[in-house]
C-alpha cells in the first residue's frame, strides 16, 4: 500500500506526456485529485481525459514554468480548485543539447537552465508556503542520473540536473522540521516519446541505451511514477533530501 490518502491533491508539471503523464495517472489511481500542468494544452487536456475516463478527478492548468507569474497562478489555481496541495511533482524539463561543451550555444544554455532549474525553483518557491500553511506536504523533483555524474555531450543538461539535486537537498534541510519533505528522482534512459524520436533518426541508440543499464533494458515511465508515489507516501516519512536513482543499476558501475 502506498499510504496516500484518497481525496488528497497532487500537482504534476510536464504532465502532458511521458513520466509526467504516467505519474499523474498513478496519483489518480491512488484516489487523489490531480492538477495536470503542461505548456502544451492539447497534451495536458489529453492526460486529464485519460484520468477522467478511468474514473478519476483532474483539472488542467496551462503553465510555462519559467514564468513566476504563471507558476504562482498554477499553485493558486490548484488551491482554488481543490482547497489544498499535498503533493507536487516538479517534472517539467527539456533536453535539447547534442554536442560538446565548446560547441554549445547561449540560447541552449538559457533554455535548458530556464526550464530545468528556474522552473523547479519557481515551483518550490510557490508550493512550499502553501504546504507550510497547511502543516504538511511532499515535493518530488525530476533530476537525472546526469545530475549524479558526468554526461558527455550533454554538459549543460547535466549541469541543470546537478542544480536540481542541489536545490532539492538544500530545500529539504531548510524545511526538514516543518513536515514538508523534498526529494528527487534520478531516472536513467526511459522509454518516452522523446527517446523514440531519437531512435528514429539513429536506430542504434536503442541498442546502446539498453546496454548502458546492467539490467539490459531501458526503463518504463510507470517505474519512475512508482518511485514518485513512494517518495510522496508515508512509507517514506523518514526520507527527505534524497536524490533517488531509478536507473537499472547504471550508477552502481
List the catalytic residues. Answer: 157
Enclosing H/E stretch for 59: strand 57-62
Helix (H, G, I), strand (E, B) or coil at 181: strand
Q: How far apart are CA 200 and CA 175, in angstroms?
A: 44
Count of all residues that appear for the chain in the document: 253
Cell of 218: 531501458
Identify any residues that bridge with 87 across adjacent strands, giving them in sequence order. 10, 138
Which of 188, 164, 161 has its CA nearest to residue 249?
188
The Cα–Cα gap between 143 and 162 comes to 7
Contact criterion met (CB below 8 Å) for 37 and 59: no
d(CA 141, CA 168) in angstroms, rounded, equals 7
What is the three-class DSSP state of 34?
A: strand
Torsions phi, psi for 11 (to 5 deg):
-115, 130
What is the rounded CA–CA span in Å between residue 150 and residue 204? 22
Do the Cβ atoms of 248 and 215 come closer than 8 Å?
yes
Amino acid at each position: 500500500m502506498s499510504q496516500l490518502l484518497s481525496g488528497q491533491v497532487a500537482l504534476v508539471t510536464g504532465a502532458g506526456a511521458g513520466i509526467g503523464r504516467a505519474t499523474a495517472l498513478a496519483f489518480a489511481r491512488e484516489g487523489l485529485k490531480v492538477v495536470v500542468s503542461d505548456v502544451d494544452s492539447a497534451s495536458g487536456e489529453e492526460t486529464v481525459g485519460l484520468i477522467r475516463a478511468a474514473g478519476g478527478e483532474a483539472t488542467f492548468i496551462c503553465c510555462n514554468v519559467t514564468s513566476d507569474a504563471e507558476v504562482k497562478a498554477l499553485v493558486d489555481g490548484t488551491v482554488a480548485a481543490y482547497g489544498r496541495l499535498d503533493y507536487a511533482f516538479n517534472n517539467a524539463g527539456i533536453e535539447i543539447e547534442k554536442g560538446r561543451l565548446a560547441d554549445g550555444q547561449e540560447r541552449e544554455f538559457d533554455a535548458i537552465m530556464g526550464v530545468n532549474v528556474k522552473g523547479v525553483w519557481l515551483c518550490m518557491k510557490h508550493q512550499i508556503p502553501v504546504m507550510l500553511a497547511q502543516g504538511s506536504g511532499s515535493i518530488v523533483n525530476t533530476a537525472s542520473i546526469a545530475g549524479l555524474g558526468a554526461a558527455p555531450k550533454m554538459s549543460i543538461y547535466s549541469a541543470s540536473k546537478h542544480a536540481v539535486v542541489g536545490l532539492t537537498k538544500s530545500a529539504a534541510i531548510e524545511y526538514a522540521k516543518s513536515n514538508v519533505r523534498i526529494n528527487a528522482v534520478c531516472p536513467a534512459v526511459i522509454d518516452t516519446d522523446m527517446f523514440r524520436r531519437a531512435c528514429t533518426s539513429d536506430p542504434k541508440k536503442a541498442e546502446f541505451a539498453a546496454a548502458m543499464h546492467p539490467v539490459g533494458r531501458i526503463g518504463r515511465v510507470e517505474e519512475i511514477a512508482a518511485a514518485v508515489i513512494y517518495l510522496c507516501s508515508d512509507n517514506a516519512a523518514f526520507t527527505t533530501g534524497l536524490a533517488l536513482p531509478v536507473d537499472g543499476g547504471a550508477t552502481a558501475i
